[in-house]
Structure 1
Amino acid sequence: MSQPPPPPPPNQPPPGGGFGAPQDPPPGGFGAPQSPPPGGFGAPQQPQGPGYGYPQTPQPPQTPPPAPPQGTPPPPPQGPGYGYPQTPPAQPGYGYPGQQPPSPYGYPQPQTYPMQPQVPQGGGGRKVSPQLLIIVAAVVVIGLIIGGGVWYSSSSGKDDNSKDTSAGTGGGSGGKDDKGGSGTTGGGGAKEKAPSDPAAKVLFQVPAPEVKEDSQIDSVAGSWLTDAVYAKSGVNKIVGYEPDSGSEKWTLDLPGQTCAGSREMSEAGVAAVVTEEAPRKNKNDRRPCTQVVAFDVDSGKKLWTGTVAISGTKVAFREITISGDTVAVGGGFSGGAAFDAKSGKVLWQPKVGTCEDVGYAGGEQLVAVRKCGDYGNEKYQVQLLDPKSGSVKWSYKLPAGIDNAKVISTKPVVFGVDSGDITASGVTDAFSLDENGKLRTKITLADGKYEHDCDVGKVNDCKSIAVGNDKLYVPTKEHEGTGEYSRTNEIISFSLATGKTTGDRIDAGDGYTIFPIRMDGANVIAYKDGPYNKGAQVVSVDGKSLKQTKLLETPASETVLDAISGMVPDSCELLYSGGRLFMGKDLVSKPYSKDEKEYTALGFGAE
């Protein structure tokens, strides 16, 4: 949320008190009066020891410089690149023209990927503690010293009623009708309808588990939504809540903390997580992420727990996805593997050789990123796989020197790369492929101009970016608005056929910033982060007219605004369906002060 220099108006509700409720809430939280849950919430190589799977804190958004005035001429056309001739000239980004990012793409990157810690920011007048920044940064360094991998995940939102989906600001997955996926071709069939009154009330909140140590960071990654259940990972468990009241319906104990959660569910309503192999004994204890657990979201029933071993050593993983009835895991140092979602049977697993699968993105299709060659000389490919057998249907080879690829959409297949000297800015170039794996076009996204994010070292973790209507939707960086002290941004789109901007411009409005959550047929479902004295919104944007329809607006009380400010919109788990918005964190740490109230999840509902 935008931080205002002036004080709030005199009619601003007083701090503290009810979380949008007219009377004092019960101790420990706001919203539904239930007690918080107790305790909170391929060449074969030996996997890394303790520390693998250490959760990584998201990177804080950077405040961009003011946008240049409209009418600034676009940059000169780029030359051919990435193996195809006559690259279309880069188009002006609707007020964000500038030089294209430097190339080449030849900078080698290590197997582990440290990132700067992210702290909540925005409304409610919160201030970041410098001490916390130092402590969190130290924890990340410690995790690297002990040889562990770093981890961060948020899953993608998809509702119960639509079979369309998109990569974007993610949460979990939708209902049993959801085939999952990372992208959609768009078309008609929008399911989300405007409620009679978009003014939302607080449905419930999930208090964050107690964290006593200053440098302790626990993982609570993963959330899923069906008609009957909102499920959220806690510490060493997953809890299923009644979506409208927040009452607990079931609790599923896990072997350890979650390292990753599937962004999708199977048609039968099955989701899956990767967890550490045992509970942590103390803040410095990190366990390998070797356990794969599948469960039924509506009932909370554990279906199976699986592992994969090479030469008697269990393989650790950092990512998990579902395509059809196949659960695919990747991100380890020995390639990927797949399980049958119903039985847990291993369908395929890492093979000895000079090549390995880096990771997978699921949904309507299963797409792999594969690398071959020695460290520093790797060559990457993007492949379409048969989910059951793991066999390759087609393969698109990336030019030598490109050492990363992030899947944005699986149908159509759209992936991005980040230039070698830019390590945490999302993607600087996106590629769309046709159904046969042939290159359609390349889209250049100048570094520093856009707000999307794709986690370093992850294949399936792009947020605030969506695919639909044969377009790529990307939010711009914040810039000055028209009002005093105001900030704003836009979503613009690029053609997946030509690589050029389409002319679409979805304005956030003065004082708001906007991020795509997912597609709803041909419409874009987007989250609008409001100014310090107004609630956040969910809007549906017509894919043709770009008309915005408000679906939901959160309360504007100080307590609600303060709670929402802890959910950074372009990195937290966002799920919207049927007039209900759920926001979830994937990491929890010690509050800044004893008076701070931290939440793992927030639920809002409109009539």
Structure 2
Amino acid sequence: MTQPPQPPQQPPNQPPQGGFGAPQDPPPGGFGKAPGPGYGYPQAPQPPQAPPPAAPPAAPPAPPAPPAQPTGQPTGQPTGQPNYGYPQAPPAPQPPAPPQSYAYPTQPAQPQVQQGYPQTQQGYPQYQQGYQQGYQQPPTMPTPPQPGDGGSGGGKKISGQTTIIIAAVVAIALIVGGGVFYASTKDDDPKKPTAQGEKGKDGKGGKDGKGGGLPGQGSAKEKAPASTSAKVVMQLPQPKIPKDQIWNATGSVLTDDVYAKAGINELNGYDPDTGKKKWTIPLSGMACAMSPEVTDDGIAAVVTEEAKRNKKGDYEQCSNVSAVDLKSGKKLWTESAETNGMKATFKEVTISGTTIAAGAGTSSGGAAWDVKGKSLWKPKVGKCEDVGYAGGDQLVAVRKCGTYGDETLKVQLLDPKTGSEKWTYPIAPGVDNAKIISTNPVVFGQDTTEITASGATDVFSLDEHGKLRTKIALEDGKYDHDCGVNMVNDCRAIAVGNDRLYVPTRQHDGSGESYNRTNEIVSFSLATGKPTSDRVVAGENGEIFPVRMDGGNVIAYKTHSYQKGAQIVSLDGKTMKETKLLETPGTQTVTDAISGMVPKSNELLYGDGHLFLGKKLLSKPFSKDEKEYMALGFVAK
């Protein structure tokens, strides 16, 4: 059930003439053209309705009944869940399912035309409503550590060059990336890293490193500035790229003092207020990954290729792990790990406590170092290997065991200093993927029965002992989150907080007689798996998705619409009341450039009135009349 690469969703555009330079005003017509709007089936979600209590509150008026459903389209309710190979517990009594409340268009489905987002994320029918029905996986006791399964695993290794090429093709196809981060920090650990955007007293990062405890707890740090109208402070042009080559510029973080963005064979730091370059750190090769977390001392981790590419653009192994000091702009150390006599390759890197852990997503296994460069564990050849890690408040691993074709996965909470497991939650046989959505509480997702665009159709909530609390079904085609292929810590447009899972619905037809597309953010209980009454509508011709938690509030991104800029908003965790924090200029050049950045699928960082958008993969544009950017920055004060 490995997910194959998807075709590229967005044709590249022409890079600007010249190279990097100081920030400048948006050139007339210089920001790339925005694609047209997307099409699809309508989805008009309605909060779930239970049988009325003795004194029921007034219910919202019911929408009109839907017309006859087109032949061959899925129904609004799931048809059941697989039993996952475990004994099935008797289902709990469920209230009657609410009536279907959304309609389909009477005309045939139109071709999908993107509005700055991958085509696989548009045009799916129906929005899921009502209570999730069918299978509930029975709670599983955590298993004790097993002999030969401590630390990290190693194993089979395919050709390094082949692995890198396949990974790059998959990545560019899905335009993977984004800035969705969920874990936060404990105040009693001065070295505890903080998840992106949850750092520091002002929400961007800083020496205090206080993230407010668990996601969705504590006071919100993001406040609306005096003026939410943002100005452009950065337009980082894309360098000229040879034809038929794909370059890596993966990785960015935002702190109180610096916006750090991977360039070509280097990491650059910029002043968040002005966009001016502060320092440059040379790297061994192109950046493959960067930790979303930054330690309280301002240390981040970067995975790079082991050497610079030749003129032909031949890929190099992503085998070097470096620690960088974002305050001084210095590289502290660079290390690699071996498995089967060869250098291990890594696709992801994360920080938890003083531990930097790098995962492969392949058969190389995982490795870890402390922030000073001391090796903590290396990939091991054996029956088990670490696929990848997610850090922040806790270190969680996805581990694979078994022989080829008969592997099983498990989610484990690790001791970040030793790599030994504290508890293990086994994933049912036959499931070959798992994505960590949150590390505290531990929440992970998986595609259970088939490949999907979202990468996670089932989400599992675990308690502090590794026991299953509930399973949440996110039926394919109804929600618009995105978890990277063959990645463990790469889910975007999805957030965990307030003991809830926040997800966006697919865009669907809105109200009114004129053409109108919209979507919502909804939530599910991590205790029961059922939908809550939370519902925030994007508005006319808009789209909204969660970025991260801010204490008990949800930070969300709203796409631009006609003559209106994109917005960062804060959603109150109790009332879902919306507060605007930032709005980009609504000019055509700016909105075109933002569309070209594909915010949902690339790097999106917000903190204290600062919004930065960055690209992960670069390629030569088709058109000579448009300009491409590696990064854009906006500030509202």
Tell me the TM-score normalised to structure 2 length: 0.74
In the TM superposition, residue 383 of structure 1 has moved relative to its aligned partner by 0.3
The whole-number CA distance in structure 2 between the counterparts of 1:363 and 1:181 is: 10
- Are residues 1:65 and 2:38 paired? no
Task: Say if 1:182 and 1:408, in contact at 8 Å, map to a contact too.
Answer: no
- Are residues 1:439 and 2:468 paired? yes
DSSP-derived class of the 2:592 partner? helix
1:336/1:545 CA distance change after superposition, 3 Å: same
1:86/1:167 CA distance change after superposition, 3 Å: farther
Structure 1 unaligned spans of 5+: 1-24, 36-59, 99-117, 124-142
**Counterpart code for 1:531:** S
In the TM superposition, residue 165 of structure 1 has moved relative to its aligned partner by 7.4
Deviations for 1:439-495, whole angstroms, at most 9, x for unmatched residues? 000000000001000011101100000000000000000111225222110010000
In the TM superposition, residue 243 of structure 1 has moved relative to its aligned partner by 1.0
Task: Say if 2:38 and 2:113, in contact at 8 Å, map to a contact too.
Answer: no
**Counterpart code for 1:442:** K
Equivalent of 2:368 in 316, 322, 338: 338
Task: Say if 2:521 and 2:545, in contact at 8 Å, map to a contact too.
Answer: yes
DSSP-derived class of the 1:561 partner? helix
1:498/1:178 CA distance change after superposition, 3 Å: farther
- Are residues 1:85 and 2:115 paired? no
Task: Say if 1:167 and 1:463, in contact at 8 Å, map to a contact too.
Answer: no
Match of residue 520 from structure 1 = 550
In the TM superposition, residue 162 of structure 1 has moved relative to its aligned partner by 8.7
**Counterpart code for 2:179:** S
DSSP-derived class of the 2:599 partner? coil
Task: Say if 2:44 and 2:509, in contact at 8 Å, map to a contact too.
Answer: no
The whole-number CA distance in structure 1 between the counterparts of 2:25 and 2:424 is: 52
Match of residue 256 from structure 1 = 285
Match of residue 253 from structure 2 = 224
The whole-number CA distance in structure 2 between the counterparts of 1:303 and 1:502 is: 47
Match of residue 456 from structure 1 = 485
The whole-number CA distance in structure 2 between the counterparts of 1:160 and 1:602 is: 25
Matching of residues 173-572 of structure 1 within 5 Å: 174-177=204-207, 184-213=214-243, 215-331=244-360, 332-341=362-371, 343-483=372-512, 484-572=514-602
1:329/1:573 CA distance change after superposition, 3 Å: same
In the TM superposition, residue 119 of structure 1 has moved relative to its aligned partner by 11
1:581/1:434 CA distance change after superposition, 3 Å: same
1:161/1:461 CA distance change after superposition, 3 Å: closer
Match of residue 603 from structure 1 = 633
Equivalent of 2:23 in 5, 18, 32: 32
In the TM superposition, residue 310 of structure 1 has moved relative to its aligned partner by 2.7
1:94/1:320 CA distance change after superposition, 3 Å: farther
DSSP-derived class of the 2:579 partner? strand
The whole-number CA distance in structure 1 between the counterparts of 2:299 and 2:345 is: 22
Match of residue 121 from structure 2 = none
Aligned length, in residue pairs: 517
Task: Say if 1:275 and 1:291, in contact at 8 Å, map to a contact too.
Answer: yes
Task: Say if 2:303 and 2:322, in contact at 8 Å, map to a contact too.
Answer: yes
Deviations for 1:99-135, whole angstroms, at most 9, x for unmatched residues? xxxxxxxxxxxxxxxxxxx998449xxxxxxxxxxxx
1:93/1:312 CA distance change after superposition, 3 Å: farther
1:162/1:559 CA distance change after superposition, 3 Å: farther
Matching of residues 88-167 of structure 1 within 5 Å: 121-122=115-116, 148-150=166-168, 152=171, 154=177, 156=179
DSSP-derived class of the 1:505 partner? strand
- Are residues 1:585 and 2:615 paired? yes
Deviations for 1:535-582, whole angstroms, at most 9, x for unmatched residues? 000000000111000000000111101110112121111111111111
Task: Say if 1:167 and 1:409, in contact at 8 Å, map to a contact too.
Answer: no
**Counterpart code for 1:85:** A
Moved more, 65-74 or 505-514: 65-74
In the TM superposition, residue 149 of structure 1 has moved relative to its aligned partner by 3.5
Deviations for 1:250-299, whole angstroms, at most 9, x for unmatched residues? 00111111111111112211111111111111344011111001101122
The whole-number CA distance in structure 2 between the counterparts of 1:257 and 1:446 is: 37
Task: Say if 1:486 and 1:510, in contact at 8 Å, map to a contact too.
Answer: yes
Task: Say if 2:195 and 2:392, in contact at 8 Å, map to a contact too.
Answer: no
The whole-number CA distance in structure 2 between the counterparts of 1:492 and 1:298 is: 38
DSSP-derived class of the 1:588 partner? strand
DSSP-derived class of the 1:559 partner? helix
1:76/1:277 CA distance change after superposition, 3 Å: closer
In the TM superposition, residue 181 of structure 1 has moved relative to its aligned partner by 9.5
Task: Say if 2:217 and 2:552, in contact at 8 Å, map to a contact too.
Answer: yes
Moved more, 147-156 or 424-433: 147-156
DSSP-derived class of the 1:149 partner? helix
Structure 2 unaligned spans of 5+: 1-15, 27-35, 46-62, 67-74, 105-111, 118-160, 187-192
DSSP-derived class of the 1:527 partner? strand
The whole-number CA distance in structure 2 between the counterparts of 1:577 and 1:334 is: 35
The whole-number CA distance in structure 1 between the counterparts of 2:280 and 2:113 is: 29
Task: Say if 1:541 and 1:548, in contact at 8 Å, map to a contact too.
Answer: yes
Moved more, 233-242 or 477-486: 477-486
The whole-number CA distance in structure 1 between the counterparts of 2:212 and 2:384 is: 25
Task: Say if 2:518 and 2:542, in contact at 8 Å, map to a contact too.
Answer: yes
DSSP-derived class of the 1:360 partner? strand
In the TM superposition, residue 199 of structure 1 has moved relative to its aligned partner by 0.9
Q: CA RMSD in A?
A: 3.6
1:443/1:601 CA distance change after superposition, 3 Å: same
The whole-number CA distance in structure 2 between the counterparts of 1:312 and 1:509 is: 56
**Counterpart code for 1:278:** A
